[in-house]
Amino acid sequence: MSALINESMFRYLYNEMSAEEKSHFMFFLENNPSSMEQFNALKEGMESLSCISYSPNENSVNKIMAYTAIDGFTIQ
């Protein structure tokens, strides 16, 4: 798979294509089954990651705060 095709897949998924580009890209995918398969796998992966949220563990925050107090850093 070429880097250009991979970039196009990401541009499509992140809605960074014009309507005309999207139309051409979908035509390409519909006529290239292996590319369509890769695109669908990428899309599924992005959708499964969208429900994940990231936040630090309270214990980790406390350790960082304790470390900054030991070294004399000030938190603003």
Taking only the tens place, the pLDDT of each residue in 23-41 is 999 999 999 999 999 999 9
Q: How many domains is the chain built from?
A: 1
pLDDT at residue 13 is higher than 90: yes
Boundaries of domain holding 43: 3-70
Of 49, 53, 46, 48, residue with least CA distance to 12: 46
pLDDT of residue 65: 85
Higher pLDDT, 18 or 50: 18
Q: Which has the higher per-residue pLDDT, 41 or 48?
A: 41
SS3 content of the chain, % helix, strand, coil (to 5): 70, 0, 30
Q: Is the pLDDT of residue 51 over 90?
A: no
Q: Is 14 contained in some domain?
A: yes
Domain-located, residue 31: yes
- Average pLDDT (34-54) is 89
